């Protein structure tokens, strides 16, 4: 099943989209993570209604599914913005000023790590490492890497993206 690239709003939640995933994994012990991954691919995150349906169909306790979904960082319990900002906080990035870059992002967008702007355009997430240590400090937005960041350069990038989003 191909995953949707857009987050589905709670008012548009179509739980029948889970049916093929649940059918394909029916009776397979230990398939909770695979089901959750596919569900997140469909909805963009894991709303509680989705966890409830998975629990009902698979007979896995809701508490267990919720525990798995909140334990692993790959799973999101809230929708993400149109642009996901992944800011590296690895050692090289930290030493090169990632904390100042993070502060500039938070000030510019009026959000903190893990939050989404009110208009749903940006979500900020810090990550342990993006594997671009020689380019530190680094962030990735929508698969594009931005390197050698400064507070000023990150503000310019975000303002340009905001302008494009408003157009």
What is the C-alpha separation between 121 and 33, in angstroms, rounded?
A: 28
Are 92 and 156 found together in one domain? yes
27, 97: one domain: no
89-109: pLDDT as tens digits: 999 999 999 999 999 999 999
pTM of the model: 0.70
CATH code: domain of residue 151: 3.40.30.10
Q: Clarify whether residues 87 and 47 are in a common domain.
A: no
64 and 88 co-located in one domain: no
| Contact between 23 and 38 (Cβ < 8 Å) | no
- What secondary structure does DSSP assign to 3-39, as a single string? PPSSPPPGGG--GGGGHHHHHHTTT-TT-HHHHHHHH
User: Would residue 4 count as lying in a domain?
Assistant: no
Residue 123 and residue 154 share a domain: yes
Domain that holds residue 105: 83-166
48 within a domain of the structure (yes/no): yes
Q: Residue 112: what pLDDT? A: 96
Domain count, the chain: 2
Question: Tens digit of pLDDT for each residue in 107-155?
Answer: 999 999 999 999 999 999 999 999 999 999 999 998 899 999 999 999 9
Strand-pair category, 83-88 with 122-127: parallel
Task: Enter the DSSP assignment of 115.
Answer: -
Q: Quick one: 57 and 96 in the same domain?
A: no
């Amino acid at each position: 099943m191909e995953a949707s690239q857009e987050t589905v709003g709670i008012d548009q939640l179509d739980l029948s989209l889970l049916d093929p995933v649940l059918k394909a994994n029916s009776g397979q012990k230990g398939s909770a993570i695979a089901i959750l991954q596919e569900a997140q691919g469909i909805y963009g995150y894991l709303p509680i209604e989705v966890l409830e349906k998975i629990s009902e169909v698979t007979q896995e306790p809701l508490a267990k599914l919720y525990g798995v979904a909140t334990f692993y960082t790959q799973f999101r319990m809230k929708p993400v913005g149109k642009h996901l900002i992944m800011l590296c906080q690895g050692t090289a990035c930290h030493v090169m000023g990632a904390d100042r870059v993070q502060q500039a992002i938070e000030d510019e967008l009026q959000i903190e790590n893990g939050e989404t702007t009110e208009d749903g355009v940006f979500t900020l997430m810090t990550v342990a490492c993006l594997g671009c240590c020689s380019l530190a400090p680094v962030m990735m937005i929508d698969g594009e890497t931005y390197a050698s960041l400064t507070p000023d350069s990150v503000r310019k990038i975000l303002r340009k993206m905001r302008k494009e989003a408003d157009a």
